[in-house]
Amino acid sequence: MKSLLIINAGSSSLKFAVFNLPLVKDAPSVFRGQIDGIGANTQFVAKDIDGKTLLDTIIKSPEGTPLEAQQELALTTLLDWIEAQKVELAAVGHRVLHGGEQYSAPVVVTPEVFKVLETFIPLGPLHQPHNLRPIRVLAAKYPSLPQVACFDTAFHRTQPLEAQTYAIPRKITAEGVKRYGFHGSSYDYIARQLPEVIGAEKAKGAVIIAHMGNGASMAALRDGKCVATSMGFTAIEGLMMGTRTGSIDPGVLLYMMETHGYGPKEISNFLYKESGLLGVSGISQDMRTLEASDAPEAKEALELFCYRAAREIGSLMMAAGGLDALVFTGGIGENSQFVRNKVIGYLEWFGAKIDPELNKVCGKAHTIHSADSKLAVAVIPTNEEWMIAHHAVTLLGL
């Protein structure tokens, strides 16, 4: 049987999923797992279709092995394991951060396309090189194996100019310093589920999708197309996240530079790693831990997370010209009754009403608003890997 391998490679981790062909709608992956701690203590975990652990092992490399070589070793170890499962790969789909201004849809990666994707490295230096490395390694090892890149930015290319532009000097904008937006594969997947879950008419209206995981963003849709999104040039802007600040007065960064002597590295850690739920609570970045905690700081972090989400909805409602439906997805959006309830509470003045019983149901696509709610509210579990697999199948005619 032929299969598809889906890869989401970061600097220290590589997530993967294997789908059998032909690809059925919402088919579960036959294998999935991840390699974590690359560069430190590399652990490889693989699970079968039922979530049973098939492998949990450490990948060893000699002391002093450069990160790039360790990333390549992680990938080749995965490929060897896949081969040992008698999986025959028909194609590989990759999650790639940046498609720049050029790519508004997934693309088959040819050597020419790969060169273009490399030019986007300055736009996403923390992710793009790590997303591209497996493509290069696979192309060298299996030159005839087709590879498809799906971009986090692609879904947002329909945003109007004003939604993409910062109020900065034109020449910096011309360098590509624009609002791109991310989490595109998740929005792409949710947008396709909308008619079934909230009805065709509402799905064509003003819809806000809240993707809330460790990273969190929102997108406003009209007629199924993105008209605005909360993330911008990087994945920092917008909502408060697990460890990221979300939007912040840049004056705070000047203050940290002048008063605490912060340089680029410290500023980067401050924005990406030390803030958000973790920074405010001082306890954890994990929503489950905070919900279970009695500490006032945990409660404060939760309240701020929801408040910031509600403020962002207010802004996106203006961009979408109203609000017909609000959809929650991502680990927090799909599972946290507290967050959904609190965020909808801010929309009560608008006529949004949640059904507490329906809000208790997690893990399936369904609506959670009450019959007299002006607004449709839904939970839709996202499936980024399946979305990437679907694009690979469509593009390659598999």
Closest separation in Å from C-beta 229 to ligand ADP: 16
Closest separation in Å from C-beta 216 to ligand ADP: 8
Q: Which residue sits closest to ligand ADP, CB atoms considered?
A: 331
Q: What is the dihedral of CA 44, 47, 48, 50, to 10 degrees?
A: 180
**Which value, in Å, is the radius of gyration of the alpha carbons in the chain?**
21
The DSSP output letter for 70 is: H
Give strand pairing partners of 47. Answer: 32, 53
Residues 343 and 210: beta-carbon distance below 8 Å: yes
Cβ closest to ligand ADP, residue 63 vs residue 357 = 357
Widest distance between CA atoms in the chain = 64
Sequence ranges of the binding site: 8, 15, 95, 211-215, 286-288, 331-335, 384
Closest separation in Å from C-beta 337 to ligand ADP: 8
264: its two tokens = 């680029």
State how far the Cα of 34 lies from the Cα of 8, in Å rounded to an integer: 9
Cβ closest to ligand ADP, residue 320 vs residue 343 = 343
Closest separation in Å from C-beta 342 to ligand ADP: 12
Looking at 50, 56, 80, 152, which residue is catalytic? 152
State how far the Cα of 129 lies from the Cα of 57, in Å rounded to an integer: 26
- Terminal alpha carbon distance of the chain: 13
Q: What is the dihedral of CA 147, 152, 158, 160, to 10 degrees?
A: -150
Cβ closest to ligand ADP, residue 156 vs residue 222 = 156
Q: Which residues of this protein are in contact with ligand ADP, per CB under 6 A?
A: 213-215, 242, 286-288, 291, 330-332, 335-336
Closest separation in Å from C-beta 374 to ligand ADP: 27
Q: Assess whether 372 carries a catalytic annotation.
A: no
Q: Tell me the backbone φ, ψ of residue 181, rounded to 5 degrees.
A: 85, 155
Q: What is the dihedral of CA 131, 143, 145, 60, to 10 degrees?
A: -50
Residues 364 and 382: beta-carbon distance below 8 Å: no
CA atoms within 13 A of residue 10's CA, in its CB half-sphere: 9
- Could you give the residue numbers annotated as active site? 152
